[in-house]
């Protein structure tokens, strides 16, 4: 029971990475490698702030803000210096691996004995989960509720934001830059803002993961961009073409499904060393599945 709940909690927490990748890759068509670095950056920033005795909520927000700054750097490299998306992300994430190590001081810092935002939020739901008969798993269940609420708030925020004038202009710029520019939008700045939001979400996920697992590690972000893409593609494959709200929910569902798939694969005897390779295969499968399932290509819209 506890293991199953923990699997869910982890999947839900990582859904924030998936939402970040949804913003950068789906809305801006920007394959953002910064994800790997900003996930760790969020975790180490929050951990260092927590260990230094700062308020847990402030520490968590600090992690997200650091991620936003990293995303903005990648966006600026692309928008101002004209460096292509993949290379911009590689440059920033490479620089971040040094930054993360310097911020954390060493490669691994535990959070044992430090009050985290999760502990605090957990305490709110603990009476309810205990009363609901979760028994030993009451604490884990409360955690899951906390993370589900956090992801729910993130989905609501994104859904609302991307339906405002600014958010709609960002989606338009990400979809068709020529159109957005002809209507007066500075598409470079919009991309910078989009990547800042995307990496704030990713870093927030890192901040929560550090608090869920009780430590920050400079290696913990490796492969996160692929994880995020796997979740986004899996979500899209689960529900098919939908509008913004549906796509956001599908992305969260994709992340949880993917985490459950991984857990089942490990339980079925997959050696953990093969995990990343299996992840890459899932991304590949999710990418080609829609093409195999649709019989004929869509008619071109412009005739």
Partner 1 sequence: MLDVRHATVAFSAPGGPLVRAVDDVSFTIPAGTFVVVIGTNGSGKSTLLGAIAGTVRLDAGSIHVAGHDLTGWRENRRARYVGRVFQDPRAGTASSLSVLENIAVAACRGRPVGLGWATPQRLRAEAAQRLAAIQPGLEKRLDQPIGSMSGGQRQIVSLVMATWHRPELLLLDEHTAALDPASADRVVQATAKLVRDQKLTALMVTHSLEQAARLGDRLLLVHRGKIAVDVEGGAKRRLSPEDLASRFDRLRRADQLDDPAARTLRDLYA
Per CB under 8 A, the list member of 94, 98, 107, 176 interacting with partner 1 is 176
Per CB under 8 A, the list member of 3, 94, 107, 168 interacting with partner 1 is 168
* Part of the chain binding partner 1 (CB under 8 A), chosen from 32-40, 101-109, 163-171, 269-277: 163-171
DSSP state of 53: T
- Our finding on whether 182 is near partner 1 (CB under 8 A) is yes
For partner 1, the closer CB: 190 or 210: 190
Contact letters for partner 1, residues 30-69 (x by CB under 8 A): ----------------------------------------
Using CA atoms, how far apart are residues 245 and 112, in angstroms rounded to an integer?
38
Per CB under 8 A, the list member of 88, 100, 187, 211 interacting with partner 1 is 187
* Cβ-contact 228, 20 below 8 angstroms: yes
CB of 180 to partner 1, least distance (A): 7
* Part of the chain binding partner 1 (CB under 8 A), chosen from 34-42, 140-148, 165-173, 211-219: 165-173
How big is the CA angle at 111 (ends 109 and 115), to the nearest 5 degrees?
A: 155
For partner 1, the closer CB: 143 or 171: 171
DSSP state of 27: I
* Cβ-contact 201, 23 below 8 angstroms: yes
- Our finding on whether 120 is near partner 1 (CB under 8 A) is no
- Our finding on whether 267 is near partner 1 (CB under 8 A) is no
- Our finding on whether 80 is near partner 1 (CB under 8 A) is no
Using CA atoms, how far apart are residues 77 and 213, in angstroms rounded to an integer?
33
CB of 242 to partner 1, least distance (A): 11
By CB under 8 A, the residues from 213 to 252 that bind partner 1 are 243
DSSP calls for 187-228: HHHHHHHHHHHHHHHHHHHHHHHHHHHTEEETTTTTTHHHHH
Other C-beta atoms within 10 Å of 20: how many? Answer: 34
Using CA atoms, how far apart are residues 234 and 3, in angstroms rounded to an integer?
23
* Cβ-contact 133, 154 below 8 angstroms: no
CB of 287 to partner 1, least distance (A): 18
* Part of the chain binding partner 1 (CB under 8 A), chosen from 82-90, 128-136, 176-184, 272-280: 176-184
CB of 23 to partner 1, least distance (A): 14
Per CB under 8 A, the list member of 31, 65, 130, 185 interacting with partner 1 is 185
Cα 158 to the center of its chain, rounded Å: 13
- Our finding on whether 166 is near partner 1 (CB under 8 A) is yes
Q: For residue 238, what are the contacts with CB-CB under 8 A and spacing of at least 6?
A: 250, 253, 254, 257
* Cβ-contact 276, 223 below 8 angstroms: yes
Which residues are at the interface with partner 1 (CB under 8 A)? Answer: 161, 163-169, 171-172, 175-176, 178-187, 243, 301-303
């Amino acid at each position: 029971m506890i293991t199953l709940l923990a699997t869910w909690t982890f999947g839900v927490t990582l859904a924030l990475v998936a939402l970040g990748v949804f913003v950068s890759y789906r809305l801006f068509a920007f394959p953002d490698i910064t994800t790997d670095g900003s996930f760790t950056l969020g975790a180490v920033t929050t951990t260092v702030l927590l260990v230094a005795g700062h308020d847990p909520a402030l520490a968590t927000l600090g992690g997200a803000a650091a991620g936003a700054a990293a995303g903005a750097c990648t966006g600026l490299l692309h928008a101002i210096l004209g460096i292509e998306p993949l290379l911009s992300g590689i440059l920033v994430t490479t620089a971040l691996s040094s930054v993360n190590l310097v911020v954390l001081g060493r490669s691994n810092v535990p959070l044992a004995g430090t009050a985290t935002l999760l502990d605090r939020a957990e305490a709110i739901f603990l009476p309810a989960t205990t009363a609901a008969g979760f028994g030993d798993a009451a604490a884990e269940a409360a955690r899951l509720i906390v993370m589900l609420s956090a992801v729910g708030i993130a989905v609501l925020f994104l859904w609302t934001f991307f339906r405002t004038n600014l958010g709609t202009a960002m989606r338009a710029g990400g979809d068709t830059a020529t159109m957005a520019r002809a209507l007066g939008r500075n598409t470079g700045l919009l991309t910078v803002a989009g990547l800042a939001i995307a990496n704030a979400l990713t870093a927030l996920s890192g901040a929560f993961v550090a608090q869920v697992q009780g430590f920050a590690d400079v290696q913990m972000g490796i492969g996160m961009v692929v994880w995020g893409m796997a979740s986004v593609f899996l979500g899209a494959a689960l529900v098919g073409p939908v509008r913004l709200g549906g796509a956001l929910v599908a992305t969260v569902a994709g992340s949880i499904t993917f985490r459950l798939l991984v857990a089942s694969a490990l339980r079925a005897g997959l050696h953990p060393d093969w995990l990343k390779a299996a992840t890459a295969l899932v991304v590949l499968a999710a990418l080609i599945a829609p093409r195999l399932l649709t019989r004929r290509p869509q008619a071109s819209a412009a005739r």
